[in-house]
Structure 1
Amino acid sequence: MNQARIDYSPIVDRKPFFLPEGARVAVWVIPNIEHFHFDAPGTAITSSTAHFTPDVLNYSWRDYGPRVGVWRMMDIMHKYGVKGTVTLNSEVCEHYPQIMEAGMQLEWEWMGHGETNSRMLANLSEDEERTVIRRVRDTIERVTGKRPKGWLGPALTETFHTPDILAEEGFEYVGDWVNDDQPYPIKVRNNSLYSIPYSIEMNDITAFLTMHMTPEDFYQMLVDQFDVLYEDGASTGRVMSICLHPFLIGHPFRSKSLDKALKYITGHQDVWVTTGGEIIDHYKQQFQTEQANA
């Protein structure tokens, strides 16, 4: 079957996307802050023990993130005035309250990211999925005082009903569709929903665990991505995502690559370092205004 959620839209045929104050690139940084269950498989640094229950080696490797790595990330991002847009497992609210408090002090934005990355959304019934999405939304709102605008499925998983449920439950944007340099509308049966540019490649999971990059390789990849988008953005604005996991980029020898990349990016003029919600708010304001004036 063909997908019916999005229209084919070549970027060369679109009206220009103007960013605030003449910026060429909107850069948003996405810390994936997750909770994994001790008796379930998860992201692994080695496959040698991944089939065991419990898998102490890989579980404790991931556990470096909330214990140490996220705090190093916060320091680096704050150093360059970068506010995170967190893809948040709602179980983090219960298990790591200090992270929630620190993120709120830094004025980070919170996106829904399922309840735990030990459980995906795939193969849920519509009612089951709606229940999960509502619980995630309500938990984040209760703890932070703000209803999340954005959503990223655990491992970017969806069902055929996910966009409809998200729109009906008050979410405004989703990062699962990694196919563009600009936001765009997704067809839903009620309300509205927008895709925001997220990346599976400008992503430390893919870079370090799949591509087996060095930290210096990762730095250069981020710089090259930025440079080309910055050049492209002279004619129509582009969006760059930097997708991070504290149990990877938070290690000392990798964190230097993030520090250098943010120093490079924020050292340029005409760059809007922002959050996911602000990008979508701006996109909607520009194109809804144009439609109203047409």
Structure 2
Amino acid sequence: MAHDNALFDYSPITERPPLSWPGDAKVAVYIGLNIEHFLIDRPSTSIWPGTADLVPDALNYGWRDYGARVGVWRITEILDRHGMRASALLNSDVVHHNPQIVKAGLERGWAWLAHGRTNSILQTGMDPEQERAYLTEVVDTIAGATGRRPRGWMGPGLTETFQTPGLLAELGLDYVLDWTNDDQPYPLKVPGLISVPYSVELNDLMLFPSGLTGPGFVQVVKDQFDQLRADARTGGRVMALALHPFVTGQAFRAKYLDQALAYLAAQPEAWITTSDEIADHYNRTASPAA
């Protein structure tokens, strides 16, 4: 049976009330840092498909594991250099397997979003009760480790079921990143839940495997910000920069991330913030008609 989209209405960005950010900023910028756990006997994100179905798949598992062992620490140092906090998209299994990463994020005041249990397993195909138990476990695990319940959600692989938004609202979450279809937050048809922009384009996992160079990455970040700043003459915009420690955390890419963040940090019209704070400000100030 075909389904129409019942989660959100079509809203052209040209027909909305103006959206403002603190300090008259034009673009709200956040760093979506994917902090993920992977199972050794399941296929997942791969740099080389030729071994992706092997068990164990040392090549691809090792590439992904580099992020937790090395890459995230390199990115953390660069974020610190520019005074930026991550919006941490956290697999709850990281709490058990890589607690040092959670500790480092807590020391830096990162925002914590629920990002499923592991990126090796998606919740697609779960019935509502299975998914309710799954989401409850993910949220409770992150809350126990960070001292606060996550406010935002991004599914592993940006996946949801038709019941996911309602279940997330039941658990007290108030925004999702899965619907990458806008440059502004917007309300969903689930009471209390909004969509906050995320990007599958301004995303290292899409950019670098396509052959983008380090200098090219810096230019892409600059071009994205500059265009959003120009667009913001009719209302504030959101720029989400999506990073994966096993991609941008590689040594030869570090200086280019540093250059990109230096550019963003130097922009007086940028509000360098977190996805939590974007959601808060939108909920406080946006017109119900937005």
Q: Scaled by the length of structure 2, what TM-score is found? A: 0.97
Counterpart for residue 238 of structure 1 = 237
Alignment of 1:146-165 (within 5 A): 146-165=148-167
1:255 aligns with 2:272: no
Letter aligned with residue 95 of structure 2: C
Counterpart for residue 30 of structure 1 = 32
Counterpart for residue 183 of structure 1 = 185
Separation (CA, whole Å) in 2 of partners of 1:227 and 1:161 = 37
1:64 to 1:291, Cα distance in 2 relative to 1, 3 A: closer
Separation (CA, whole Å) in 1 of partners of 2:283 and 2:157 = 27
Identity of aligned residues (%): 49
Q: Secondary structure at the match of 1:239?
A: strand
Q: By how many angstroms is 1:256 displaced? A: 1.7
1:156 to 1:42, Cα distance in 2 relative to 1, 3 A: same
Counterpart for residue 50 of structure 1 = 52
Separation (CA, whole Å) in 1 of partners of 2:288 and 2:60 = 51
Counterpart for residue 266 of structure 1 = 265
Q: Secondary structure at the match of 2:74?
A: helix
Aligned-CA RMSD value: 1.2
Letter aligned with residue 249 of structure 2: G
Q: Secondary structure at the match of 1:247?
A: coil
1:196 to 1:291, Cα distance in 2 relative to 1, 3 A: closer
Separation (CA, whole Å) in 2 of partners of 1:29 and 1:235 = 24
Separation (CA, whole Å) in 2 of partners of 1:69 and 1:291 = 41
Q: Secondary structure at the match of 2:234?
A: coil
Separation (CA, whole Å) in 2 of partners of 1:119 and 1:268 = 39
Separation (CA, whole Å) in 1 of partners of 2:129 and 2:216 = 44
Q: By how many angstroms is 1:161 displaced? A: 0.5
Q: By how many angstroms is 1:291 displaced? A: 5.3
Letter aligned with residue 218 of structure 2: Y
Counterpart for residue 199 of structure 1 = 199
Counterpart for residue 224 of structure 1 = 223
Stretches of 4+ aligned residues off by more than 3 angstroms: none
Q: Secondary structure at the match of 1:243?
A: strand
Separation (CA, whole Å) in 1 of partners of 2:233 and 2:74 = 34
1:81 aligns with 2:83: yes
Q: By how many angstroms is 1:279 displaced? A: 0.3
| 121-130 vs 212-221, greater mean Cα deviation | 212-221
Q: By how many angstroms is 1:59 displaced? A: 0.3
Counterpart for residue 208 of structure 2 = 208
Q: 1:139 aligns with which of 135, 141, 155?
A: 141
Paired residues, number:
287
Separation (CA, whole Å) in 1 of partners of 2:243 and 2:79 = 12
Q: Scaled by the length of structure 1, what TM-score is found? A: 0.95
1:173 aligns with 2:175: yes
Separation (CA, whole Å) in 1 of partners of 2:211 and 2:179 = 24
Q: By how many angstroms is 1:71 displaced? A: 0.4
Counterpart for residue 94 of structure 1 = 96
| 228-237 vs 172-181, greater mean Cα deviation | 228-237
Q: Secondary structure at the match of 1:241?
A: strand
Q: Give 5+ residue unaligned stretches, structure 1.
A: none
- CA deviation vs aligned residue, 1:217-256 (integer Å, no higher than 9, x gap): 2221111101100111233100000000000000111122
Separation (CA, whole Å) in 1 of partners of 2:208 and 2:125 = 29
Letter aligned with residue 284 of structure 1: N
Separation (CA, whole Å) in 1 of partners of 2:216 and 2:73 = 23
Q: Secondary structure at the match of 1:94?
A: helix
| 251-260 vs 136-145, greater mean Cα deviation | 251-260
Counterpart for residue 116 of structure 1 = 118
Separation (CA, whole Å) in 2 of partners of 1:250 and 1:22 = 33
Counterpart for residue 279 of structure 2 = 280
Separation (CA, whole Å) in 1 of partners of 2:149 and 2:53 = 37
Q: By how many angstroms is 1:273 displaced? A: 0.3
